[in-house]
């Protein structure tokens, strides 16, 4: 794998970071931007533009094609730490005051979880790798299908989806009656595993781990797969598609999301010092070279 110094620098706007309403984030001192439909703020305009593209192009057909493309696992091979190293060249610009690479957010999240849950090493590792699917950005994947809140395609759009009323007008699925009922193409309480979410880094990383026979427990895999599914775990939408297992996992996802946001008050961890500890967790749950 190429050294990170030769990796092109990618400035990535993750619009999900602009719309995180949990009380824990408010209490942490995070000065997050308020939802504004029309704004002259360049950052908010960029956020809305990303969602506009997402909500225009993410259709049932688009998502199925992304599954076919990315689940060949033929893009590159790397260990977890090597893939994390690539995130040194990926900067989240959703806050103009923050210019740290995503790898820093990965270790910050893991260390916050480690402090709160010292007995759950699998949860700590989940925090470290939850955003690792963003490596798709280095292989041609556009931002609107790499980052941001996810939603279900193939049925009516959840009421809490960001910019729901102003960004779906050019999505061809909205013209197809079978995709616009409460259940759409799905059965009641079929389970989230049987629905198509808009494509993003969550779904990709989940499948990478499954393909490479990771032994992370089901709770960790759920957190990785659904941590950006804010219309569900925070907005309360799509409950009619959930089965009992989804509802059992929901508290775990909500617990994880307490730790999933960079805060400017937090110190940057000494990554080199922490690597041996996290390498031990990687060796336990997803060792060796993975196919991506």
Please give the annotated binding residues for Fe cation, written as ranges. 105, 130-131, 201, 227, 260
Distance CA 9, CA 129 (A): 20
Nearest to 56 by CA among 160, 166, 149: 166
Q: Which two tokens stand for residue 256?
A: 């994880």
CB 258 within 8 A of CB 23: no
CB 163 within 8 A of CB 55: yes
Radius of gyration, alpha carbons of the chain: 18
Tell me which DSSP letter residue 261 carries. Answer: S
Binding residues for substrate: 33, 92-94, 134, 148-149, 227-228
Distance CA 138, CA 10 (A): 8
Q: Which residues contact 203 (CB under 8 A, 6 or more apart)?
A: 67, 133, 150, 197, 225
Q: Which two tokens stand for residue 270?
A: 């000494």
Binding residues: 33, 92-94, 105, 130-131, 134, 148-149, 201, 227-228, 260
**Burial letters for 121-154: b for 16+ Cβ neighbours within 10 Å, e otherwise?**
bbbbbbbbbbbbbbbbbbeebebbbbbbbbbbbb
Give pairs for 236-240: CB < 8 Å, separation 24+.
236/160, 237/158, 237/159, 237/160, 237/161, 238/152, 238/158, 238/192, 238/195, 240/182, 240/183, 240/188, 240/189
């Amino acid at each position: 794998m190429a050294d990170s110094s030769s990796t092109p620098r990618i400035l990535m706007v993750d619009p999900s970071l602009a719309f995180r309403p949990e009380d824990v984030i408010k209490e942490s001192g995070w000065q997050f931007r308020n939802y504004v439909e029309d704004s002259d703020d360049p950052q908010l305009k960029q956020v809305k533009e990303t969602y506009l593209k997402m909500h225009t192009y993410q259709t049932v057909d688009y998502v199925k094609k992304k599954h076919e493309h990315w689940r060949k696992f033929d893009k590159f091979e790397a260990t977890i730490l090597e893939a994390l190293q690539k995130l040194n060249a990926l900067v989240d610009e959703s806050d103009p005051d923050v210019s740290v690479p995503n790898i820093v957010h990965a270790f910050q999240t893991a260390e916050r979880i480690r402090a709160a849950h010292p007995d759950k090493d699998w949860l700590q590792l989940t925090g470290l790798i939850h955003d690792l699917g963003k490596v798709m950005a280095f292989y041609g994947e556009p931002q609107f299908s790499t980052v941001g809140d996810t939603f279900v395609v193939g049925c009516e759009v959840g009421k809490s989806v960001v910019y729901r009323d102003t960004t779906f007008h050019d999505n061809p699925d909205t013209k197809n009656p079978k995709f616009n009922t409460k259940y759409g193409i799905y059965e009641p309480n079929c389970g989230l595993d049987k629905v198509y979410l808009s494509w993003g880094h969550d779904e990709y990383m989940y499948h990478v781990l499954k393909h490479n026979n990771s032994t992370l427990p089901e709770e960790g895999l759920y957190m990785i797969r659904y941590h950006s599914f804010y219309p569900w775990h925070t907005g309360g939408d799509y409950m009619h598609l959930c089965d009992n297992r989804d509802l059992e996992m929901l508290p775990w996802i909500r617990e994880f999301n307490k730790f999933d946001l960079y805060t400017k008050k937090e110190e940057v961890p000494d990554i080199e010092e922490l690597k041996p500890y996290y390498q031990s967790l990687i060796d336990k749950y997803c060792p060796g070279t993975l196919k991506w």
